Amino acid sequence: MSKPERTSDVRYTYREYVEWDGPERWELIEGVPYLLASPSPLHQQIVLQLGAEFALYLRGRPCRAFVAPMDLCFEEDEGTMDVVQPDLFVICPPYREDRRVVGVPVLVAEVLSPSTAAHDTIRKMLLYERAGVPEYWIVEPEERAVHVYRANHGALRWQMSKHAGDRLSPQAFPDLAIDVSVLFGS
């Protein structure tokens, strides 16, 4: 299938999404396709460091960490109209994985870049909120900060911001203390 059209009246499903040709990476939110930008080296270093922290911590445990590009769907239905590729997500049983991961992560993290900031802080945050994701981290490279949002009565609400020099623990893994400086290479 050829690339999707970005019009207000055309919606796509996961089944159609997997048939698209080309090297581009896409996400679907409510069936609307969004082209993902190529990440910067700093963005990728932050994702790598964050992924390494979780990979080491989760070794031998039932939960798993995934980094982009990995399709995440919140429901099993191939007709779902939501598929995203978070920079990092951590998921615990029960979930399913084959060519995609299906389930609700205990944590999602997105590293902001100028071209994706609005998409990550508005559109994707609302999707994660609807899906029931309990914790969402927005990593801001320019500020050298991680902004933590946690579910509160069904809504993701800002809880705290941690900066280089601080330690950060996910709600699901309170014994994991991540040195925020490590994420930014300092």
How confident is the model over 99-152, as pLDDT tens digits? Answer: 899 999 999 999 999 888 889 999 999 999 999 999 999 999 999 999 999 999
Contact between residue 145 and residue 161 where contact means Cβ atoms under 8 Å apart:
yes
Low-confidence ranges of the chain (pLDDT < 70): 1-3, 5-8, 186
- Helices (H) and strands (E) in the chain — how many of each? 5, 13
Question: What domains are there in the chain, each with its CATH number?
Answer: 37-183 (3.90.1570.10)
Give one word for 156, left, alpha or beta, with left for phi > 0 and alpha for psi -120 to 50.
beta
pTM of the model: 0.93
